[in-house]
Amino acid sequence: MTHFLKDFFHRLKTSKGTAQVFNLPNSITLIRLAVIPVLFLLLLSPGRILSMIIAVLFIIAAITDLIDGYVARKYNIVTTMGKFLDPIADKLVVTTAMIMLIPIGRIPAWIVAIIIMRDLLVDGLRSIASADGLVIDASRLGKQKTLCQIVAVSALLIHYDTVFGINAHAVGMVVLYLALVLTVWSGADYFMKFYKQKNRE
């Protein structure tokens, strides 16, 4: 399937600049971003069926994150636009879902606030580190944090049904608290790495 799609994009008559944006990995990322408007349906306080549909679309969006990264590496289609779009798409989809879950009472606002603040602080620190010529390697904590957030949000979107015989909302809340711990921990870890590198100068 990926071979077919790669050939399809390769045959498209596009300028070099356009190809840098609308290649296969970037197009998958843009499709992921298209899920965001659907998340606003959560403001309608969806019932069981609509909640499941939104959850499935969110999970598909999360899976495409793995696909576009795999395709970009396998076929060496790594572009500056892709490096910019991919992490932003991930954060926008997950963060939007969490924010939309607040008004319908499925997620505590204070947890969402802490997660967003952590991301803003780390992004700001990355900018400072980059300006100083510092390279701070991402730790496994960040990936584990993201995975837990996706699992938690997926379960909270499902909400009504059960997961292995346990209420989906309850599962989501347990994983969400784990995601919160990893979020704070990974943020503190990033700041510590930055502090240590600055002291070596």
Over residues 101-113, the pLDDT tens digits come to 999 999 999 999 9
Whether residue 106 lies inside any domain: the answer is yes
Q: Helices (DSSP H) in the chain: which residue ranges?
A: 2-11, 16-21, 24-33, 36-39, 48-74, 80-101, 109-131, 140-158, 168-200
Mean pLDDT lowest among 10-14, 82-86, 112-116, 157-161: 10-14
What does the pLDDT look like over 143-192, one tens digit per residue? 899 899 999 999 999 988 665 677 899 999 999 999 999 999 999 988 88
Average pLDDT over residues 44-65: 90
- Residue from 5, 11, 20 nearest 70 by CA: 5
- At residue 98's C-alpha, the angle toward residues 70 and 52, to 5°, is 75
**Which pTM was predicted?**
0.80
Whether residue 31 lies inside any domain: the answer is yes
Please report which confidence band the pLDDT of residue 127 belongs to, taking 50, 70 and 90 as the band edges: confident
- CB-based contacts of 73-77 (< 8 A; 24+ apart in sequence): 74/2, 75/2, 75/6, 75/24, 77/23, 77/24, 77/25
Domains of the chain: total: 1
Which residues span the domain enclosing 90?
Answer: 19-200
For residue 69, how far is the Cα from the chain centroid?
Answer: 13
Q: Quick one: pLDDT at residue 87?
A: 74
Q: Which residue has the higher pLDDT, 83 or 170?
A: 170
Whether residue 167 lies inside any domain: the answer is yes
Whether residue 56 lies inside any domain: the answer is yes
Whether residue 8 lies inside any domain: the answer is no
CATH of the domain at 54: 1.20.120.1760
Does residue 4 surpass a pLDDT of 60? no
Q: Compute the residue count for the chain.
A: 201
Whether residue 3 lies inside any domain: the answer is no
Q: Which tokens is 112 given?
A: 């969402």
Q: How far is residue 126's CA from residue 137's CA, in Å, rounded to a whole number?
A: 11
Q: Quick one: pLDDT at residue 96?
A: 95
Whether residue 87 lies inside any domain: the answer is yes
Give whichever of 31-40, 123-132, 179-188 has the largest mean pLDDT: 179-188
Q: Where does residue 159 fall: left (phi above 0), alpha (psi -120 to 50 degrees), or beta otherwise?
A: left
Whether residue 13 lies inside any domain: the answer is no
Instruction: Give me the percent of the chain exceeding a pLDDT of 90.
Output: 40
> What is the bridge-based pairing of β-strands 162-163 and 166-167?
antiparallel
